[in-house]
Amino acid sequence: MEQYIDRYVDYLRNVKKSSENTVASYRRDLIKFYRYFDEKGITRIDDINETYITSYVLGMEKQGMSMATVSRNIASIKSFYAYLMRERIVNDDPTENIKPPKIVKKVPETLTISEVNKLLDQPTNKTPKEIRDKAMLELLYATGIRVTELVTLKLTDVNIKLGFIECHDGDRVRTVPVAEVAQRALSRYITEVRDDMSGGSDYLFFNCKGAPMTRQGFWKIIKYYAAKAGIDKDITPHMIRHSFASHMLGNGADIKSVQEMLGHVDIATTQIYLTNKQSKLKEEYAKAYPRA
């Protein structure tokens, strides 16, 4: 089975032009799937049937995996078998009747505007590191881009003069506007700091050793400034993305425009942020309505 997984991963990377994060996620799920059956002595792809796969899924649930994780694993396996069917490697799809568990979508936790301001005000711009941190935080909140997109930005993806950046997700490219406050922070970083940190690389952001910034490295930066700001929330880069979307919609932005900026394929993914807006309206109504 392993050879087919390798071929499928090559297909995702070279034909579908999936992002490296997507490719890594699918590969991880499928290697786990392969090892499960390999340990049971089932090594031929044709020997795996619907009953076996159902047992595998139930096993994940018994291990206490979240419904979202189980659902993602099922999606990976179903996509793998769809590829095997197209390539005529298998004649039957044992995943055809296997459905992912229903997931109740939670309203994303966000920061208040006051909390965002506190967080973004923490870097004082007194050191090169703080100038970089300020630029990264301002850019993340100004654009709502994913942390992976932030740390993989190249210098050529930035146009400060026109006020936009270009984000790459696999073979898709989208243009995202950048607010003036973020433009200023970014301009100062590029002008005063970046060249000394870069070591000649074309990436935009670097750690203090001159290597490109990583997701984990930026996560630590956020945790540091959140603690410094006294914000009692488990702040992540994705929470700042959620906050951007929620605040934009709350201030009257068109949902289609927000969808485009976030890079959501399905508008239903963006619509969940409207729940925050509706909750706020209910709170204000309850406070103001005389008979509430």
3-state secondary structure the chain: CHHHHHHHHHHHHHCCCCCHHHHHHHHHHHHHHHHHHHHCCCCCHHHCCHHHHHHHHHHHHHCCCCHHHHHHHHHHHHHHHHHHHHCCCCCCCCCCCCCCCCCCCCCCCCCCHHHHHHHHCCCCCCCHHHHHHHHHHHHHHHHCCCHHHHHCCEHHHEECCCCEEEEEECCEEEEEECCHHHHHHHHHHHHHHHHHHHCCCCECCECCCCCECCHHHHHHHHHHHHHHHCCCCCCCHHHHHHHHHHHHHHCCCCHHHHHHHHCCCCHHHHHCCHHHHHHHHHHHHHHHCCCC
Q: Which of 142, 143, 129 is nearest to 218 (CA)?
A: 129
- State yes or no: is 242 an active-site residue: no
- One of 168, 188, 215, 264 is an active-site residue; which one? 264
Q: Is 146 a catalytic residue?
A: yes
Query: Is residue 264 flagged as an active site residue?
Result: yes
189 is catalytic: no
Instruction: Identify which of 81, 12, 29, 19 has the alpha carbon closest to the alpha carbon of residue 265.
Output: 19
The CA distance from 143 to 158, in Å, is 12
Is 88 among the residues known to form the active site? no
What's the Cα-to-Cα distance from 167 to each of 81, 140, 151, 233, rounded to whole Å? 31, 12, 11, 28
Catalytic residue among 132, 146, 194, 247: 146
Catalytic hit among 194, 241, 242, 247: 241
Indicate which residues carry an active-site annotation: 146, 238, 241, 264, 273
